[in-house]
Amino acid sequence: MNDPFAGEDEYLPKLHLEEEQLAALGDIGDVGDTREIHCKVRVASVSKGQDGSRATLEVIEMEFMEDDKQGAAADRMYPSMRA
């Protein structure tokens, strides 16, 4: 989803979290902060129409990747996600 050619006005998906979900996630930071997350999702629906394809993904698990010097966050990533 990281497209270096995307314009500033391009639509980006958003996650809307309730109070209990925010509490479980921990410190989310301030407005404008950038955080890296690791998610496990379930495909809830897929549809194809005249205006293109759409899908709904349900987040099953989500956690922030730690920004540490030892690289522990990178060790938890799937091989295809590593830079």
**Within a domain: residue 29?**
no
Q: What is the pLDDT of residues 33-58, one digit of tens each?
A: 888 888 999 999 999 999 899 999 99
Question: What φ, ψ does residue 60 adopt, rounded to 5°?
Answer: -95, -45
Residue 69 lies in a domain: yes
Q: Is residue 2 part of a domain?
A: no
Which structural domain, as residue segments, surrounds residue 41? 35-81
Model pTM greater than 0.75? Answer: no
26 belongs to a structural domain: no
**Phi, psi for 73 (deg, rounded to 5):** -65, -45
